[in-house]
């Protein structure tokens, strides 16, 4: 039994109808409960809750302070390759897009890491397109080996692997895995992933569990917001996170909220998500999942990110570049998507302090492993 089997018990149409049927009284009941549960969460995500977003945000703020204190972790993505065999219609790295392809050498990746280390980062997220010929297991292990002296925590956002390969990366020093389903709607999934291995919805859906079996300390999931109705996506995300928390309780489960940004190919989001919708979704998820890490990247504007500092976020990327080699030189190629927050890591750290929170560059040390 995997999450694929569980999700089969929750049809998209039934969840949509449940969301639409909720009343303001349902929302009030969910807000007055210390454990709203899935029924309460559906109420919090409903249109009936739109007028109570302030109350949801206040709850989210209180819960986050109780569980995490007033801290925000900082991390940076390090893109090692934009080579990809998939054709995701929303992504600049889509194999069909005529961009120049680049995979960093191990030395170049280390130079990018040294730059980020100099900026203060101790948590890095290695990112690559899905191309095992360009960025295979041995290459990734060599990159991780080069970065280990610079970073206390190394996460990966690469391509789905099997348990053995993930295990090898974990033993090399990778402690976190990020893998987004992009959309839980199987029809939309098929439409936006027309070619390549990523076409396989089930394989992707089960990959976070593979990461759990491999022993990653942190596992991150997320929906690419704008592909389908954010309220229903939010419910599936919550189901998925709850499933992983129950089965892989040794791992911290995190949720990211990547909202579609302009990219090569000019894909237009079929279901745009407003700032208000995003705040609604994040704060409702915080109320439902008090212990989940919530991540907000530089896809979002400085204004929105500042606003979210007290409302449930636990980690933020900063100073990001989304092209391989982009930190240390002009790579001459496209980024994966456009960044919206261009502030430097130190400006963002200062903004966090100005809000009465502490920026945390390091929240993990591998010597904790016994």
Options 20-28, 91-99, 118-126, 324-332: segment touching ligand SF4 (CB under 6 A)? 91-99
User: What are phi and psi for residue 183, nearest 5 degrees?
Assistant: -145, 140
- Quote the least distance from Cβ 83 to ligand SF4, whole Å: 9
Near ligand SF4 by CB under 6 A: residue from 68, 75, 93, 216:
93
Neighbours of 358 (CB within 10 A): 12
311 and 319 in contact (C-beta within 8 Å)? Answer: no
Q: Compute CA distances 35 → 182, 287, 335, whole Å.
A: 28, 8, 42
- Quote the least distance from Cβ 87 to ligand SF4, whole Å: 7
Tokens of 311: 């409302």
Burial classification of residue 47, based on how many CB atoms lie within 10 Å of its CB (0-12 exposed, 13-18 middle, 19 or more buried): exposed
Near ligand SF4 by CB under 6 A: residue from 94, 181, 252, 317:
94
Options 22-30, 38-46, 80-88, 104-112: segment touching ligand SF4 (CB under 6 A)? 80-88
Options 86-94, 116-124, 148-156, 270-278: segment touching ligand SF4 (CB under 6 A)? 86-94
- Rule CB under 6 A: is residue 229 a binding residue for ligand SF4? no
Near ligand SF4 by CB under 6 A: residue from 44, 49, 84, 287:
84
- Rule CB under 6 A: is residue 223 a binding residue for ligand SF4? no
Near ligand SF4 by CB under 6 A: residue from 7, 31, 91, 147:
91
- In 3-state terms, what secondary structure has residue 260? coil
365 and 152 in contact (C-beta within 8 Å)? Answer: yes
DSSP string over 315-367: EEE-S---STTTTTS--SS--SS--S----HHHHHHHHHHTT-EEES----GG
Mask of contacts with ligand SF4, 27-66, x by CB under 6 A? ----------------------------------------
- Quote the least distance from Cβ 80 to ligand SF4, whole Å: 12
- Rule CB under 6 A: is residue 80 a binding residue for ligand SF4? no
The nearer residue to ligand SF4, 92 or 351, going by C-beta atoms, is 92
- Rule CB under 6 A: is residue 88 a binding residue for ligand SF4? yes
Q: What residues contact residue 35 under an 8 Å CB cut-off, 6+ apart?
A: none
Q: Which of 43, 67, 23, 18 is nearest to 280 (CA)?
A: 43
Helices (H) then strands (E): counts for the chain: 14, 9
Residues 116-175 that bind ligand SF4 (CB under 6 A): 129-130
Helix or strand run (H / E) with residue 235: helix 230-247
Q: List for the chain the helix, strand, coil content (%; round to 5).
A: 45, 15, 40
- Quote the least distance from Cβ 156 to ligand SF4, whole Å: 13
Rounded CA gap, 237 and 223, in Å?
A: 7
- Quote the least distance from Cβ 88 to ligand SF4, whole Å: 3
Options 81-89, 183-191, 211-219, 299-307: segment touching ligand SF4 (CB under 6 A)? 81-89
The nearer residue to ligand SF4, 43 or 207, going by C-beta atoms, is 207
- Quote the least distance from Cβ 300 to ligand SF4, whole Å: 18
The nearer residue to ligand SF4, 225 or 308, going by C-beta atoms, is 225
Q: Which of 16, 59, 19 is nearest to 35 (CA)?
A: 59
The footprint of ligand SF4 (CB under 6 A) covers 84, 86, 88, 91, 93-94, 129-130, 198
């Amino acid at each position: 039994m995997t999450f694929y089997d569980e999700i089969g018990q929750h049809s998209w149409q039934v969840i949509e109808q449940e969301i639409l049927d909720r009343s303001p009284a349902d929302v009030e009941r969910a807000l007055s409960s210390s454990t709203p549960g899935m029924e309460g969460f559906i109420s919090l995500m409903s249109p009936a809750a739109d007028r109570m977003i302030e109350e949801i945000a206040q709850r989210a703020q209180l819960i986050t302070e109780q569980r995490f204190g007033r801290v925000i972790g900082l991390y940076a993505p390090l893109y090692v390759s934009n080579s990809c065999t998939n054709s995701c219609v929303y992504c600049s790295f889509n194999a069909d897009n005529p961009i120049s392809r680049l995979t960093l050498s191990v030395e170049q990746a280390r130079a990018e890491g040294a730059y980020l280390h100099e900026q203060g980062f101790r948590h890095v997220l290695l990112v690559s397109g899905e191309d095992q010929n360009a960025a295979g297991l041995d290459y990734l292990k060599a990159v991780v080996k080069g970065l280990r002296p610079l970073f206390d925590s190394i996460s990966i956002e690469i391509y789905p692997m099997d348990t053995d390969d993930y295990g090898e990366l974990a033993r090399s020093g990778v402690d976190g895995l990020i893998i987004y389903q992009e959309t839980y709607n199987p029809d939309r999934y098929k439409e936006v992933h027309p070619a390549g291995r990523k076409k396989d919805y089930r394989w992707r859906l089960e990959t976070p569990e593979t990461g759990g079996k491999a022993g990653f300390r942190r596992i991150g999931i997320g929906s690419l917001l704008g592909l389908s109705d954010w309220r229903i996506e939010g419910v599936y995300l919550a189901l998925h996170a709850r499933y992983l928390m129950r089965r892989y309780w040794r791992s911290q489960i995190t949720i990211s909220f990547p909202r579609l940004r302009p990219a090569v190919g000019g894909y237009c989001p079929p279901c745009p998500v407003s700032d208000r919708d995003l705040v609604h979704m994040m704060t409702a998820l915080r109320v439902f999942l008090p212990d989940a890490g919530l991540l907000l990247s530089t896809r979002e504007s400085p204004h929105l990110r500042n606003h979210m500092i007290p409302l449930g976020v636990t980690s933020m990327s900063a100073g990001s570049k989304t092209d391989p080699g982009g930190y240390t030189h002009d790579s001459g190629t496209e980024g994966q998507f456009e960044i919206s927050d261009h502030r430097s890591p130190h400006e963002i750290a200062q903004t966090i302090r100005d809000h009465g929170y502490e920026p945390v560059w390091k929240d993990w040390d591998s010597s904790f492993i016994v």
